[in-house]
Chain A
Amino acid sequence: MSALPAYASPVQRVWYYAFRVIVGLIFFFLIAPILVIIPLSFNAEDFFTYTPGMLALDPEAYSLKHYRDFFSNSDWQQAMWNSLAIAPSATVLSVGLGTLAAIGLSQSHVPFRRAIMAILISPMIVPLIISAAGMYFFYSRVGLQGTYVGVVLAHAALGIPFVIITVTATLVGFDRSLTRAAANLGADPVRTFFKVQMPLILPGVISGGLFAFITSFDEVVVVLFVGSASQKTLPWQMFIGLREQISPTILAVATLLVAISILLLATVELLRRRSERLRGITPQ
């Protein structure tokens, strides 16, 4: 928003400042809960509250013991490795299937494309608990309940809508004459896809993949239903931990997850900008 012009009326002046205050409050509302837990995770005591020592900034009141606990406790370690195995697998599956689906559904000759699109996107719209319960009954019957494959498939189903939406949005800007040009220059459809279409829709694919990854990495409801104790992920362990033993280790894990999310988002955004610049769309 630009500076207030000289001819602004009193109402405009009031709104000019009120607008900034409102925006600030919204940011605060969104970020405060996340920021509050970060100092708490360095608490030297096993409490969820700020101790007088912490408020006095006494170095003795801070410690890394909850982080130490996270990296030494076998329950947390198993959960971490499970998350690190399940989320990338689900992401790869979502990206592959979602991208293909988006490309297929962007062709005008496909019959019932709106209906198919609606079905594929439904996991995003249907309440999670309903999807989770449905998956539980279905997966139990086909023997996927309580297996890694089951959890990966379930998370992939949740991630696909994000990939479809972002890739479809990128395909809208994709010039169809480029695939014609590639064919005219002698490239078969497979080569055209990998050399021309894929590089150009890559930013959309990357964004979709990121969303799919975060969805799986943060997901607790479906994994509670579809998974068993041996597939417990970090959110699963946090949820169980909150119910059974209230330990600030959860805060340490939460802080780590926030850090990972920020890092991931920043990296992917940088990559995306770079590839967007490379394809010469944004002015330099």
Chain B
Amino acid sequence: MTNTDTNDGFVVFDRVQKSYDGETLVVKDLNLAIGRGEFLTMLGPSGSGKTTCLMMLAGFETATHGDILLGGTPINNIPPHKRGIGMVFQNYALFPHMTVAENLAFPLEVRGLGKSERETKIKRALEMVQMGDFGNRRPAQLSGGQQQRIALARALVFEPELVLMDEPLGALDKQLREHMQFEITRLAHELGITTVYVTHDQTEALTMSDRVAVFDDGRIQQLDPPDVLYEEPKNSFVAQFIGENNTLVGEVVEMKPGDLCVVRLDDGEVIDAKAVNVHEVGQRTKVSIRPERVEYNKERIPEGAHTLHAEVLEFIYMGDIFRTRLKVAGNDEFIIKTRNAPDQVRLKPGQKIEIGWLPQDCRALDA
């Protein structure tokens, strides 16, 4: 469902800046085009500007500079109640004095729909979130997960083309959260609505989205589909923020054709890496390797690759995987993950091993 037609986006942020106090910019020069029907997640640590972007889109905050376009028209001067954008709030924001059905009827009454039409739409929306029998309950009589579903149904019942979600699953327990992640993506794709989803949970971002925009310091650090984001982070912030990551610090000593380079780590050992945003010999670099891409089985390490000496510090049995903590090149927080297969070697603390990896899995990033 990925819509790569970004030149002609349904939602466009054009050089948007936002400052609350007139001095510091919370959002710095945001340019983003979201395609029709796309599920885009804004991911980032708190204070990175992602929620501010969502609030500007909903109309609750105004952009200090730049334009926000919806379907080609600038919406900066349109008040929130005329934007016709659905939204699921972090705390659900269900009206406590109304029943579930009345909550859902609210946006329809505002739009002047007749009684029978309202009832059909409410029924359909409730069935969509599997809450068909709960129309007469009040929000306080529902569990967190049920309230979440109602909030979703209310955001969808008036059939908006764009739905915003502000950390909607934050208050749910793990199992329910995973279930709702699936439900929300299924609904969004079935109904073909454009979704902008804000979260600080990277698993949520990876599993749900067509594309993820990683925010930090008021800027988008990387905007890519989940697999690209995880496997090919463009800078060390993204590498650190998405998934688990091992970092080794060193200096580029040789640039090779095919975007490869050789890095001398601070303790003198030399490794091969893919040059991502390092360009010249002598540059400081942080080398990033995913824990599951590290190999210690000699037969699997490619011919001629540089290997490193490692000492096993800790071995944790996690059921489906083994998680082993190593001391590598002075870094004693180096993690490797291996699948629990019948022929898998279980390492023991104190054991000395040699580790290696494919050069393209080891990315030399900015320091």
Contact = CB atoms under 8 A, between A and B. Distances in A.
B95 A196 contact: yes
A187 B110 contact: yes
Bin chain A's interface residue count. 20 to 34
Contact of A280 (B85, B107, B110, B141): B141
Interface stretch (A151-159, A177-185, A204-212): A177-185
Contact of A186 (B81, B89, B95, B97): B81
B91 interface: yes
A182 B154 CA distance: 11
Contacts of A279: 96-97
Contact of B106 (A182, A188, A278): A182
Interface in B72-98: 79-87, 89-91, 93-97
B81 A178 contact: no
Given A177-B93, A178-B95, A279-B96, A184 B140 contact: no
Interface in A155-212: 175, 177-178, 180-189, 191-192, 195-196, 199-200
A180 B97 contact: no
A29 to B, nearest CB: 41
Contacts of B158: 185-186
Nearest to A276: B97
Given A280-B139, A281-B140, A186 B91 contact: no
A144 to B, nearest CB: 40
Contacts of A191: 110
A195 B105 CA distance: 12
Judged by DSSP, the binding face of A is helix
A185 B89 contact: no
Judged by DSSP, the binding face of B is loop
Given A186-B110, A187-B106, A181 B95 contact: yes
B1 to A, nearest CB: 25
B60 A180 contact: yes
A196 B93 CA distance: 11
B112 to A, nearest CB: 10
A180 B91 contact: no
B329 to A, nearest CB: 49
B111 interface: yes
A189 to B, nearest CB: 8
Given A186-B107, A187-B110, A181 B89 contact: yes
A184 B81 contact: yes
Contact of A188 (B81, B96, B140): B81
A280 B96 contact: yes
Interface of A: 175, 177-178, 180-189, 191-192, 195-196, 199-200, 278-281
Given A183-B59, A278-B138, 15 more contacts: A180-B80, A181-B89, A181-B95, A184-B81, A185-B107, A185-B110, A186-B111, A187-B110, A196-B95, A200-B97, A279-B96, A280-B96, A280-B138, A280-B140, A281-B96
Interface of B: 58-60, 79-87, 89-91, 93-97, 106-107, 110-111, 138-141, 154, 158
Nearest first, the 4 closest Cβ-Cβ pairs linking A and B are: A280-B140, A181-B93, A185-B107, A279-B97
